[in-house]
């Protein structure tokens, strides 16, 4: 079974609107971490936001927030007030346990922001 | 230099060539990673090094040979590659090991776009 599932290959959003990118995960560990990365066309993966499995509050970083629903094993990324520069691939990832070498990525969602 | 750097950014090589990819991190991390990113595939973790010791090797063919001489540098030596090895190769670093409570987020370099002809 896949550890990380992103079911939206591509998404469109109007500039200044909010958008939610879906991510579900699969692990039997109680301790894990969830991450979102942005990959512009230049190729570099940029770390956006982190949520620990024991964190009670949803993580927020500026215009990014992570909608963490533990029972559903989902960790959706919400981008508020989309900007043209947000057009990129977005990857959800999971660190299993406290194993820094057990890191899994989803297949990504291509976000296009329309002016 | 800051963050994670990778050289070269682009590489074209024949199947009989030998080349090396270089990665350097300036973040004081002690774990480094090589990933392969092919079109329409999730990132594939190839190798993980922690404190210069290899801790993960995900069934990568022997034509890829990693080297980690110190915690700041990571190399990927390439020889007799196949056309299907053409991909973006990403290097990353993070804090590693220790007790729980850390996020261990990985920071990536810009990648090397490899084309095997």
Q: What is the DSSP letter of B100?
A: S
Given CB atoms, is A25 within the 8 Å cutoff of chain B?
A: no
pLDDT tens, position by position, B41-73: 788 889 988 877 777 777 899 999 999 999 899
Q: What is the pLDDT of residue B41?
A: 79
Nearest CA-CA distance, residue B48 and chain A, Å = 6
Beta pairing class for B107-108 and A74-79: unpaired
Q: Taking CB atoms and an 8 Å cutoff, what residues of chain A touch B105? A: 33, 35, 47, 50
Residue A33 token pair: 């971490």
Which among A19, A32, A108, A106 has a CA at the least distance from the CA of A70?
A32
CA distance B90 to A14: 31
* Whether residue A74 has pLDDT greater than 90: yes
Q: Taking CB atoms and an 8 Å cutoff, what residues of chain B touch A100? A: 31, 48, 50, 94-97, 104
pLDDT tens, position by position, A30-61: 999 999 999 998 888 999 999 999 998 999 99
Report the b/e string of B49-73 with b at 16+ CB within 10 A. bbeeeeebeeebeeebebebeebbe
Please say whether the beta carbons of A37 and B42 come within 8 A.
Answer: no
Point out the residue among B45, B100, B109 whose CB comes nearest to the CB of A103.
B45
């Amino acid at each position: 079974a896949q550890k990380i599932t992103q079911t939206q290959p591509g998404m469109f959003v109007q500039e200044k609107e909010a958008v939610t990118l879906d991510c579900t995960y699969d692990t039997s560990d109680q301790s894990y971490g969830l991450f979102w990365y942005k990959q512009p066309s230049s190729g570099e993966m940029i770390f956006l936001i982190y949520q620990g499995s024991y964190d009670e509050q949803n993580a927020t970083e500026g215009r990014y927030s992570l909608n963490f629903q533990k029972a559903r094993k989902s960790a959706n990324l919400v981008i508020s007030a989309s900007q043209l520069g947000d057009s990129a691939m977005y990857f959800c990832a999971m660190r299993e346990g406290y194993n820094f070498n057990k890191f899994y990525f989803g297949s990504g969602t291509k976000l296009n922001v329309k002016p | 230099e800051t963050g994670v750097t990778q050289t070269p950014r682009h590489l074209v090589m024949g199947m009989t060539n030998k080349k090396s990819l270089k990665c350097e991190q300036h973040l004081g991390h002690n774990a480094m990673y090589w990933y392969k990113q092919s079109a329409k595939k999730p990132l594939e973790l190839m190798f993980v090094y922690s404190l210069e010791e290899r801790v993960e090797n995900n069934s990568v063919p022997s034509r890829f040979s990693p080297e980690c001489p110190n915690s700041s540098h990571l190399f990927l030596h390439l020889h007799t590659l196949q056309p299907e090895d053409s991909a973006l190769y990403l290097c990353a670093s993070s804090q590693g090991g220790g007790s729980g409570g850390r996020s261990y987020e990985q920071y990536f370099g810009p990648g090397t776009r490899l084309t095997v002809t």
